[in-house]
Amino acid sequence: MIARPLRLGVNIDHVATIRNARGGRHPDPVRAAHLAAAAGADGITAHLREDRRHISDSDIARLANEIQLPLNLEMAATEEMLAIALRHRPHAACIVPEKREERTTEGGLDVAGQQEKLKPMVGRMVGAGIRVSMFIEPDPRQLDAAKAIGAPVVELHTGAYCEHEGEARDAELARIAAAAAHAAAIGLECHAGHGLSYDTVKPIAAIPTMAELNIGHFLVGEAIFVGFEASIRHMRALMDEARK
Ligand code: PXP
């Protein structure tokens, strides 16, 4: 199988976390987005949480207006976030769980258990030209539910894969690979993310039907030691190596 090109979405939430630790404007996540673009990112991802613990409303407005790269807005499935998404019309929106009851036991969004709530929301966003994805566990039941409610994209949760080691990690990787193949078989674009680092990215990047990885915390952490551009460039190089 010929692997499709693999995009890197750089999540800048934790630039805002550091800014918010002191208030004020520094470090500016929009500046980080410009640097990410210069370092070879294909998109910028930002999660506007209901409690605004990192990214703020004005960050989203500035990102939507000032950056050239496609913006992927991560958001809870609430009326407030839906209104914000429809106002800014980002290139993409990824629906993520924020409350316990919205999650599966592992941590992805429980799409199968909330189809009635999610379907109209997805319809409105897709109708506004936003590419909507569902952040789910690599579970065929959740993929089928995402397809059933009209989401064109799924993002597979790599948290458990990154946390485990040895056989447990291998088992989780196999689940992710099987889910990515299932996504392709039922016509869903497949993304992945959460917790990825230099040590864990390659096996995920090597999955041929994977179209995008969204990576943030590790890149911002590594930026302390090597700079943000260098951390992104190295991640991009590892992804490209895995794809060869
Ligand atoms: N994808 C989704 C849907 C997420 O919620 C997050 C975390 O905000 C990420 C990717 C990136 O995870 P990390 O910051 O651990 O790389």
What the chain holds in terms of domains, given with CATH numbers, is 40-243 (3.20.20.70)
In the chain, which stretches have pLDDT less than 50?
none
Pairwise CA distance, residues 188 & 175, whole Å? 16
Pocket of ligand 1, candidates 217, 231, 235: which has the most ligand atoms within 8 Å of its Cβ, to mutate? 217
**Could you tell me the distance, in angstroms and rounded to a whole number, from the CA of residue 113 to the centre of ligand 1?**
22
Pairwise CA distance, residues 196 & 217, whole Å? 8
Q: What is the DSSP letter of 50?
A: T
pTM score of the predicted model: 0.97
Predicted pLDDT of residue 43: 98
- Give the tokens for residue 172: 């989780």
Q: What is the SS3 assignment for 187?
A: coil
Q: Is 74 a catalytic residue?
A: yes
Predicted pLDDT of residue 122: 98
**Could you tell me the distance, in angstroms and rounded to a whole number, from the CA of residue 219 to the centre of ligand 1?**
11
Q: At what angle are helices 29-38 and 228-243 packed, to 10 degrees?
A: 40
Name the residue with the closest Cα to ligand 1, atom 4.
194
Q: What is the SS3 assignment for 241?
A: helix
Predicted pLDDT of residue 75: 98
CB of 71 closer than 8 Å to CB of 90: yes
